[in-house]
Structure 1
């Protein structure tokens, strides 16, 4: 007997309810904020414990261990999110993370297990993150109206900035007063807080819920795209994009979270689901070009703003405090833009604005390495934060509005593969390039890659004309 996901609540989120007044969105936001603060506490605890338990190189390996499974398994995580539903995946993954961190905290209290335990924990987090991240991107489209997705992205950005401000100090306090075990325990508590909030979120019924992802209902041909994207053909076996054809899930009595599929019904293989997701993206002119824009902008942005900024601060004599001020300028800009999107709720001509902000932001990224004073660098970083905060939120909102609910997890996993899997691999390349050629040329080259992402968006009529729903 095959079990396929269904949704117990039949009410679709009200189109006229602002996201910041929607109890389900607020519960999801509280769960996300608690989990994000826990992430920051966890990374402080992990880095401290790794440094105390091994050499600096061994500690670096532990910190990097989670990146490998995250990069390798991210596409599979998108399949899992689409098959089982994002809320169920988030609940399970958060529970696993809570249990794993709590176990390590207890072991550190009663024994000294060594560096291997931290390495195992980092690998577990990498595997779970590969599943959680696509589900995290897919859930907003299930709990609010499409016209509220930009506002939700702004709210998520604000929560992320809050987590960065609160999480690291909390982790430091935990380490100071109780060692790594206390900090891990605090992280586990924060992960646990997110569980009842997620469990209380009600999901609106979506097209294709209650059958394997990618399977069309009988008699449907899969035409008509999302608002603003135009009509297009889909490859055989793929569901219709979220437009006029809305197919309700069958009523069942199997319980609130699952429906029982008929005997003998098959489910496509995971490899087929991944292939179908990639084909779906390629057949959608907005999503296909958006993935290229995301890949180029992240590949050009992540290295300079992480490794490059540290080396620039050292080269200019700004020190750690100066680097902190530059990062604070970036965070303030991104937070201000998140607040603006939360209040405004929608940006007209989203595709055009997205492409322009990436292109202009690329100029600002390159300029950081050439400004003469720390104050000027902070001002430029503020501009980078404003532009990056806007473009990042619009990327997320356009991905969700352009994606059919049956594919949104896989679409998100492809974007995350570039942003969180491949882009961090540029860290050692950025450091080596700066050693050879200096900060200025490397920042300029990285800015060129970012600008190419913006120009790619401007060169696509489909993406340039893409709109967020009202």
Structure 2
């Protein structure tokens, strides 16, 4: 039984940036990402209005816990039912949740526990959405276009980051949190019909492989597959270690460093802009290039200077120096991250894509947010400089591990 009645995608290879099928998926992904970020702005503001700083932090943390705990299960669901079906279903649930919250805010002032429940549901649905959306690119384009698709995906993330904050802020300023949730719901609703028109390729062996095993057995099988794979095993370790070194300093450290050194909100904004510009340049490079030779080696080698740039924040004497460090951090780590994603999708058997993607997502979007409070405590105790140096050392260790793996160094993307 096929997942969709839409005709399968053509076999002939077409450049990803000129493929209408890829562009429909990219548009849906961009709308969903902007909606995700606008939702976060609205939730943060609604929590701040309903409680104090501690309660706001609690609401935001509650959403991260089910995302981390259920991420691997989300990969099993993606492989069992097909990622397209799971992506559409989870996007529809997210749309319904935020529209319901918007309607509730119009007629009542929900307490902090209602908002915490919303964050809990949204985090659980994200645990289904993220592995499935990550497993889609190999099904919508030819193998030789995967690096381009990863570049386009990176550009979409940069666009979402740039557009969502002012859009969410404007909506909340004009109509309060209800308007923010309403805008997020509209964006999720826009992504749904676009996703439904994306044509999918589903290998016959993958359809035959879905079936009667229990979810627990499928999860264990997926973890054994990753652990025993010559390229995936060192790739996942490289991703996990590098991301744990980068995530805390980048997401919490930038803000606290700017405050510690008197750069102010404007200085923090310039640093974040430098990081976004560097990451966008890396994504654009991959989007326009057909192929990156020796992708496994380039991935690890790109992370090394990115780690050095991250550590340079410890010594940045001015906003200008911080912007330069942020640009090279975004450029190098953005390139390494995109190549890691393309390699993961290339070397994985299609029957395991959802589970393998869930493992990668767990170490990039599931576990790292749980380290943010620890990063804040460490900066409060020792200052931002030592924390950035420790993060850089951990990121560099991840890259060094990748370089020590011969199968990963020799891994190539398809021609």
TM-score interval, smaller chain: over 0.9
Aligned residue in 1 for 2:141: 144
Tell me the residue number matched to 1:420.
365
Q: Is the 8 A contact 1:104 1:117 kept in 2?
A: no
Structure-1 separation of matches of 2:30 and 2:393: 34
Which structure 2 residues correspond to residues 444-463 of structure 1 after superposition, within 5 A? Answer: 444-463=389-408
Correspondences of 1:174-189 after superposition (within 5 Å): 174-189=171-186
Q: Which residue does 1:332 correspond to in 2?
A: 277
Alignment of 1:9-48 (within 5 A): 11-48=8-45
Question: Please, which moves more after superposition, 9-18 or 87-96?
Answer: 9-18
Give the counterpart of 1:341 among 269, 281, 286: 286
Instruction: Work out which of the residue numbers 175, 190, 199 in structure 2 matches 1:193.
Output: 190
Distance 1:150 1:90 in 2: 21
Match of 2:162 in 1: 165
Question: How many angstroms does 1:443 deviate by?
Answer: 1.2
| Larger helix percent | 2
1:70 and 2:103 aligned: no
| Matched residue, 2:316 | 371
Distance in 2 (CA, whole Å) between partners of 1:366 and 1:413 is: 29
Residues in 1 aligned to 2:167 and 2:255: alpha-carbon distance in whole angstroms: 23
Once the 2 structures are TM-superposed, how far is the Cα of residue 54 of structure 1 from its aligned partner?
Answer: 1.1
Whether the aligned pair in 1 keeps the contact of 2:9 and 2:199 (CA below 8 Å) is: no
Q: Distance in 2 between matches of 1:114 and 1:433?
A: 32
Contact 1:287 1:402 in 2 (8 A): yes
Partner residue of 1:108?
105
Q: How does 1:345-356 map to 2 (within 5 A)?
A: 345-356=290-301
CA drift of 1:345 comes to 3.0
How far did 1:22 drift? Answer: 1.2
Structure 1 residue 321: Cα displacement: 1.1
Q: What is the match of residue 340 of structure 2?
A: 395
SS of alignment partner, residue 208 of structure 1: helix
Aligned partner (choices 437, 442, 464) of residue 382 of structure 2: 437
The residue that corresponds to 1:271 in the other structure is: 216
Provide closer, same or farther for how the CA distance between residues 315 and 162 of structure 1 changes in structure 2, counting only shifts above 3 A.
same
1:263 match: none
TM-score by length of 1: 0.86
Shift of 1:283: 1.6
**Is 1:7–1:209's contact at 8 Å kept on the other side of the alignment?**
no
Q: Determine if contact 2:140/2:200 at 8 Å carries over to the other structure.
A: yes
**Pair 447,13 (structure 1): closer, same or farther in 2 beyond 3 Å:** farther
Alignment deviations for residues 257-287 of structure 1 (CA, whole Å, 9 cap, x no partner): xxxxxxxxx6111110110001111121100
Q: How does 1:41-60 map to 2 (within 5 A)?
A: 41-60=38-57
Q: Is the 8 A contact 1:5 1:209 kept in 2?
A: no
- The structural deviation recorded for 1:57 is 0.7
Structural RMSD (CA): 1.3
1:141-290 alignment, distance < 5 Å: 141-213=138-210, 267-290=212-235
Instruction: Say if 1:54 and 1:115, in contact at 8 Å, map to a contact too.
Output: yes
Residues of 2 paired with 1:6 and 1:16: CA distance?
A: 22
Cα distance in 2, alignment partners of residues 421 and 69 from structure 1: 9
- Asked whether the 8 Å contact 2:39–2:180 carries over to 1, the reply is yes
- Aligned position for 2:243: 298
Is the Cα contact below 8 Å between 1:212 and 1:268 reproduced in 2? no
2-side partners of 1:13 and 1:465: how far apart?
30
State the SS of the aligned residue for 1:211.
helix
Cα pair 2:7 2:199 within 8 Å, conserved: no
Q: Is the 8 A contact 1:307 1:430 kept in 2?
A: yes
TM-score (normalised: structure 2): 0.97
* CA spacing shift, 1:79–1:448, aligned 2, 3 Å: same
Structure number with larger C-alpha Rg? 1
Query: How many residues end up aligned between the 2 structures?
Result: 415
Q: Secondary structure, in 3 states, of the residue corresponding to 1:369? A: helix
Asked if 2 retains the 8 angstrom alpha-carbon contact of 1:212 and 1:267, the reply is no
Give, in angstroms, the shift of residue 59 of structure 1. Answer: 1.1
Conserved in 1, the CA contact under 8 Å of 2:306 and 2:333? yes
